[in-house]
Amino acid sequence: MEKYTLIGHPLGHSMSPFIHDELFRISGIEATYDCTDIAPETFSDRMSELRALNGFNITIPYKRDIIPFTDVLDESAKRYNSVNCVHITDGKAVGYNTDCDGFLLSVKAKNLALSGNVLLVGCGGVGRMMAIEAALHGAELTIGIIPEAASAAAALADEIHFLKPECKVHVKPIDSVKGTFDLIINASPVGMYPKVDACPVSVELIGTCGGVFDAVYNPVKTKILQIAESFGKPAVNGTAMLVYQAVKAHEIWNGSSYTDEQVQEIISKTNELIAGDFK
């Protein structure tokens, strides 16, 4: 019986065990997947316990803290200095970043235009990864920010220009952004439960865009997604990213593969569970 877990602190209700259990069931692998809440003061003491597993996932606040305890880093983890998936193989802990895979596969599944004119709202955490991936895929990128994020956005723009000097990056206050975008990405918490009536951009911007990706998955249908769908725009929430990053972890851990239909079924089931939990 293989054993896996999710580590973080604090760990509230997580959809990860359900998602991973579904993936193990489909692939026919006998395995357990649970959650392990680790207090910061005991973090380093738990490494031998974690290395006895077949693998584990990492969430806030340990995606960087885990790096010194890995033996090898995949290129994805090096690029973002962030690890959310570890594979224990041949006695070594190999660190990966599958968040980027989850994002890219979610966008691809909806045929959203990551290589076009992209507006990104928010630039911290996952937003940094999304901005870099958009730039690497050829986007002209506008980063819409609140005043408090000005220095972080400027640093991110410099980082993008270092990685891809020819990329066009614009940093603007979000309430001043105008124009037409092929894709709007919300990487901010705006619209997240319980403030479900908030929307990160104007109705006008949504109405003229090509599609919307919202990293928020609670609620399942945020205000920005509701508006996008009312205009007939393709729109996807953060559940898809959550499931696809887990799919990538299973590919790493066991070489498992899944059909589009199987993945979409798990996304639908997960959305149903989220909607039920937070009615």
Structural tokens at position 111: 């045929």
Angle at 206 between CA 202 and CA 207, to 5 degrees: 110
> In 3-state terms, the chain is what percent helix, strand and coil (to 5)?
45, 20, 35
Q: Which stretches of the chain are DSSP H helices?
A: 16-27, 47-51, 75-80, 99-109, 126-136, 150-163, 203-208, 223-230, 238-254, 260-277
Name the catalytic one among 63, 223, 233, 248: 63
Q: What are phi and psi of 28, to 5 degrees?
A: 75, 20
Phi first, then psi: what are they for 226, rounded to 5°?
Answer: -60, -45
Q: Which residue has the tokens 């039920």?
A: 276
63 is catalytic: yes
Alpha-carbon distance values, 247 to 50, 81, 225 (Å): 21, 21, 24
Catalytic (active-site) positions: 63
